[in-house]
Amino acid sequence: MSEHSQLGAYALGALDADEAREVEAHLADCAECRAELVELEELKEFLGEVPPEAFLDGPPEGGDLLLQRTVREVREAAAAPSAVATPVAPVAKKRGRWLLVAAAVVVVAGALGGGVLIGRQTVEQADGPVPGSVQVSATDAASGATMATTVEPRENWTWIRVRITGLKPGAECEMYVTDKAGKVWTAGSWVVTEQAAREGSRFGGGVLISPDQVKSVEIKTVQGAHVVTTTI
């Protein structure tokens, strides 16, 4: 019976080596426990459907901006006529107008054909950087890394693409953008794969500043070591 009650911890792999051996010796002789173990291991599989993060509680650290953005989106969506949470039927005249607008949207979408807008965007990107882009490159003498940086204008924000050679595989990198006022923006982080270490590591990140405000782009490791900087 004592082996019996150890089976759960054994199935979850939580017993120490001596205890596990005891349980295994017992299992060799006990068909009932072997059958039970099969069921317990099946339950372990079920537990695997839930990620370990499911057992963290409370709000995230440093997530105030995230909450503000989310609340703003909900407010805007609630105010928009198409929002889910607009139960009140508009008066007949108004509804007629909305239907007309909706119909017009459908016609335009139909005329263009699905995917045309996405397609055009892809073509622009495939042909090279968007108009108005700025490209610079630099090599860092200390780290030996060379970075080609493209600053692409977007509507009220900026997309920054980098291609870096001379990085070590497995390096965890972060991209920082400094604007002309001296403020530093984080534009994402990534891990350098084996292939990227050989052929050049590409990364892209967006910052919420206009392209003419971008002063420099710096790559650091997650551990804080400087890798390379390009000045725009």
Footprint of other proteins (CB under 8 A): 4-9, 11-12, 14-16, 19, 39-40, 43-44, 46-61, 63, 65-67, 69-71, 73-75, 77-79, 84-85, 87, 118, 122, 125-126, 161, 186-193, 195-196, 201-205
Minimum distance of other proteins from residue 225's CB (angstroms): 18
> Residues 65, 66, 70, 71: is their CA dihedral positive or negative?
negative
Which residue lies nearer to other proteins by CB, 2 or 182? 2
Name the residue among 61, 64, 84, 88 with its Cα closest to residue 74: 84
Q: Report residue 151 as tokens.
A: 């600053």
Which residue lies nearer to other proteins by CB, 101 or 124? 124
Q: E-assigned strands of the chain?
A: 134-139, 146-153, 158-165, 172-179, 184-191, 201-207, 214-221, 226-231
Minimum distance of other proteins from residue 187's CB (angstroms): 8
- C-alpha 65/C-alpha 73 separation (Å) is 12
Which residue lies nearer to other proteins by CB, 19 or 212? 19
Minimum distance of other proteins from residue 196's CB (angstroms): 5
Q: Report residue 185 as tokens.
A: 């923006």
Which residue lies nearer to other proteins by CB, 63 or 96? 63
Minimum distance of other proteins from residue 144's CB (angstroms): 18
Number of other residues whose CB lies within 10 A of the CB of residue 149: 25
